[in-house]
Amino acid sequence: MIQQAELISTGAELLSGRSVNTHARLLGERLDQVGISLLRDTTVPDDQAVIESCISAAATRVKLIFISGGLGPTNDDVTRDAVAAVTGRPIVMHQPALAELHERMKRAGRSITPARERQALVIDGASIWLNPAGAAPGECIEHDDAYFILLPGPPNEFEAILDTHVLPWLQQLNSGAPALRKRVLMTCGTAEGDIVDRFEKSNFPPAGIETAYCASAGRVEIRLHPIGGTSDDALDAAQEEAVRIVGPEFVYARERTSLAELLARELTARGQTLATAESCTGGLIAERLTDRPGSSAYFRGGIVAYADEIKQRLLGVSPETLATEGAVSEQVAREMASGVQARLGVDYAIAVTGIAGPSGGSAEKPVGLVFSAIAQPTGVDCYRDVFPGNRRTIRELTYQYTLMRLWQCLRDKA
């Protein structure tokens, strides 16, 4: 039974900031489902000697090592060379992967080249997992009582092979192993420091439970883990106590999920629809709400209205309101929400208008000022916030808080 794993991510672009490494987060989530903890994530450049050293060191700590990236067609793709050196195995051409690569290039109307054919090279004796989203296959090499898993670096290919091939293999390998026990609370609208302060004042957690936190803009994930022989009943009781201490109004889920996913489920189950009118978020809310298959069941459309003219023409915002109150105001947010609700014929509508910065603020209307409105069948509610941070953070906080308020609205009407 395998309980721990490590990830070695290769690529100079990950260290220079040109690309964001999302592999550890995805892999940690997936491994958790099969009772395996991701113990360490190491990022290294495209240097064969460095990769070899990291692989050898990881094999002294765990029996499952993932190596991502460096399987492409260029001369700096040296991951397979490093693994071949560590395991003492030759590199060979995998004919099924090569045939699939030729077919893929033919469908794309592109010619095959010796460089592209390099992507079908594999470690001799490896179990090969063909890539449903790209060219280079995944590989599993068993060596000295350890497993080395080679996966391509592009996130969509990494995820495709992980979900299609690696997880079913791990489930079989670890069959009978107990799942990692934990409880999760997803919160929005209260800061991590405030949550910790409330827990400390309430002498939480109780004996036999430990807490962990993961904070991002507008959201905090709380994880409760049992220590030793703590029962599931005690874990459940601790979860409910944590909800009471944090405040039920701030807890939107007891599982790891996003507000957009939660709203998608709820609106679909109710057969109700939603639309958006966005200014300062520039379509971010609509993008998050539609970032899943089947979103047309509940999302009718969105309007990004930066210019006052667009607010008037497409959303029906009054010119008088804009002239007297300004584009960033409660009344404009209300009229934006009512306008998109009426024009798109939906049950609920979200509207946001604000100053995301870094310029455009004033003493009266500072950077971070946001008005968000929610149009419901019974009327329009509006909220005023002044969010801290840079432009990206302000937009992200606007998204989180607005969706949280919509979720609270739906919950109150359940």
277, containing H or E segment: strand 274-278
Q: What are phi and psi of 7, to 5 degrees?
A: -120, 130
Domain residues of the chain, as ranges?
4-173, 183-253, 271-412
Residue 410 tokens read as: 């739906």
Q: What is the dihedral of CA 410, 257, 21, 42, to 10 degrees?
A: 150
Confidence at residue 104, expressed as pLDDT on a 0 to 100 scale: 87
Name the nearest CA neighbour of 54 among 94, 96, 86, 11: 86
Percent residues over pLDDT 70 in the chain: 99
- Would you place residue 33 in the very low, low, confident or very high pLDDT band (cuts 50, 70, 90)? confident
CATH of domain 271-412: 3.90.950.20
Q: What are phi and psi of 19, to 5 degrees?
A: -135, 145
d(CA 118, CA 95): 12
99-108 CB contacts, 8 Å cutoff, 24+ apart: 100/130, 100/131, 101/135, 104/135
Read out DSSP for 110-163? ----HHHHGGGEEETT-EEE--SSSSSPEEEEEETTEEEEEE-SSHHHHHHHII
In this prediction the pTM is 0.79
CATH of 183-253, one of 3.40.1390.20, 3.30.70.2860, 3.30.465.10, 3.30.590.10: 3.30.70.2860
Q: List, for residues 211-265, the tens digit of each pLDDT value.
A: 999 998 889 999 999 988 899 999 999 999 999 999 999 999 999 899 999 999 9
Q: List, for residues 138-166, the tens digit of each pLDDT value.
A: 999 999 999 999 999 999 999 999 999 99
CATH of domain 4-173: 3.40.980.10
d(CA 361, CA 255): 38
